[in-house]
Amino acid sequence: MATVNEDNIGSMVWITKTGSKYHSHGNCGNSKYVSQVTRESAEARGLDPCSKCY
């Protein structure tokens, strides 16, 4: 699990309801339903960065 550092706090990322990754762009992948949250929040949910856009 990634650790939270100062670079992660406040950075916004995109997530889906059922995915296990977070994305730097809302249009990465095929999902139509995405939400924007902080990277800190995504990592707190146990999500990892997408290998395609990070």
Residue 10 makes CB contacts below 8 A (sequence gap 6+) with 38, 40
The string of pLDDT tens digits covering residues 1-52 is 554 444 555 799 999 999 999 999 999 978 889 999 999 999 999 999 999 9
pLDDT at 43: 98
pTM of the model: 0.77
Under 8 Å between Cβ of 35 and 42: no
Residue identified by tokens 């990892």 is 48
pLDDT confidence of residue 6 = 46
Contact between 13 and 4 (Cβ < 8 Å): no
What is the reported pLDDT for 30? 82
**CA atoms in the 13 A half-sphere facing the CB of 16:** 16
